[in-house]
Amino acid sequence: MKSSPKYGVLMINLGTPDAPKTPEVRTFLREFLSDKRVVDLNPLIWKPILNLIILTIRPAKVAKVYQQVWMEEGSPLLVLGNRLKNRIAAALENRFDHGIPVEMAMTYGNPSMESAANKLRAAGADKILVVPMYPQFSSTTTAAGYDRLMSSLKKCPHWPALQLIQDYADHPLYIKALANSVRTQWAKQGEQRHLVLSYHGIPKRYVSNGDPYARRCENTSTLVAEALGLSDSEWTHVYQSRFGREEWLKPYADATLKSMPEMGIKRINVISPAFSIDCIETLEEVTLELGDEFKQHGGQAFDYIPALNDSDDQLALYLDLIEQNTQQWTQ
Ligand SMILES: C=CC1=C(C)c2cc3[nH]c(cc4nc(cc5[nH]c(cc1n2)c(C)c5CCC(=O)O)C(CCC(=O)O)=C4C)c(C)c3C=C
Ligand SMILES: [Fe+2]
Ligand SMILES: [Fe+2]
């Protein structure tokens, strides 16, 4: 009898606290900020700073921010990510005779890589396609997720075949989806505004050491501007979410936005292409913090364009990524 192939899809994202409360945020930040992929400082220097300063002060502050954006069903990153996962699973339900099981796992916190990989194995998947929910590869995010996945399989006696997607920064459906979102926003507000593309930053040193993240972000911005037919003066590329004292990728979002009104750019839209799913960084840091700063410095209109989340365009993009990267399994 011909045995049918058993495929599975594992979508991976960063992670989020289990609750918007100080102890849960501390647990999440401890795990996240202890990863050498994220903070590569000498542990003899970093551990005391992390334990004595950051994990003492930051969790209570950040818990308040999570409370501002928390949804009835949980953290936006998890809730909106699950909605996308469910749409993808429904679309793949009729593939082969048994469908293709889909799980989402977080590098830090829950659902863990181990639990998601076990669920896929229990569903019979022996070939797993891993889809990073990070459009632009970075060692701090994508590679950190892959590290965790490999460690989670350490105890697995029968290793599944793995196919790892690097990123999709220049995928035509991703660029089209971002451009569509911008056009939809312009139509809704009845005006085209200066477009700010704001990416989560990383320390500049990581890029100097070979992390391709900045180049991949630039690829995305250039292609989106091209798709929208924007001239150089109609868009700006910046990095947000600086953390710690060392130099991060520039231009910095806050400094750039503060200086825009006096240069005559008073009405803007901000899109954050590095976030496939809205989360604390987009819903609070961009929408509220950057928006307030821009207005305090003379800005007249500021609107954030939501992440692609579980939109039809995002669904089409992920289905295409899955289709393209499993072709060799179905031939
Ligand atoms: C400490 C250094 C950090 C690096 C490097 C970094 C890179 C990076 N992060 C994302 C995506 C997300 N980051 C999120 C939250 C977040 N990020 C950092 C720090 C670094 N990120 C912290 C400390 C936090 C927690 C919040 C805070 O304390 O300010 C999230 C959201 C999680 C959520 O629950 O909503 C995402 C997503 C990318 C894409 C990236 C580099 C490419
Ligand atoms: Fe981050
Ligand atoms: Fe932040």
Residue type, 122: A
As a 3-state breakdown, the chain gives helix, strand, coil percent values, each rounded to 5, of 50, 15, 35
Q: Please give the pLDDT value at position 1.
A: 41
Contact predicate 4/98, CB 8 Å:
yes
Residue owning tokens 């520039």: 250
Fold held by 172-305: Rossmann fold (3.40.50)
Q: Please give the pLDDT value at position 94.
A: 77
| Cβ count within 10 A of residue 182 | 22
- Residue nearest atom 33 in ligand 1 by C-alpha distance: 16
| Cβ count within 10 A of residue 326 | 18
Q: Is 252 in the pocket of ligand 1 (CB under 6 A)?
A: no
Distance 275 CA to ligand 2 centre (A): 10
13 Ramachandran zone, left/alpha/beta (phi>0; psi -120 to 50): beta
Q: Please give the pLDDT value at position 2.
A: 41
What's the Cα-to-Cα distance from 264 to each of 68, 240, 300, 305, rounded to whole Å?
32, 22, 11, 21
Question: Mean pLDDT by 10-residue block, N- to C-terminus, for the chain (331 residues)?
Answer: 71 98 98 98 97 97 97 98 97 82 97 95 92 98 98 86 97 98 98 98 98 98 98 98 94 97 98 98 92 97 98 98 86 57
Q: Please give the pLDDT value at position 99.
A: 83
Q: Which residue positions form the known binding site for Fe(2+)?
A: 200, 281
* Phi, psi at 104, each rounded to 5°: -120, 135
Distance 101 CA to ligand 1 centre (A): 28
Torsion over CA: 89, 163, 306, 70 (sign): positive
Q: Is 138 in the pocket of ligand 1 (CB under 6 A)?
A: yes
Q: Please give the pLDDT value at position 5.
A: 58
Q: Is 213 in the pocket of ligand 1 (CB under 6 A)?
A: yes
Q: For residues 61 and 26, give the distance between their C-alpha atoms in angstroms, rounded to a whole number.
A: 11
Which among 15, 40, 8 has a CA at the least distance from the CA of 209? 40
Tokens of 105: 């796992």
Domain spans, the chain? 172-305
Residue type, 43: P
Which ligand is nearest to the Cα of residue 202, counting in written order?
1
**Strand-strand pairing, 7-13 and 102-106:** parallel
Please give the helix or strand (H or E) that residue 225 lies within, else none.
helix 213-228
Residues with Cβ < 8 Å from 14, sequence gap 6 or more? Answer: 32, 77, 106, 107, 108, 141, 145
Classify the complex by whether its ipTM is higher than 0.90, answering yes or no.
yes
pTM: 0.96
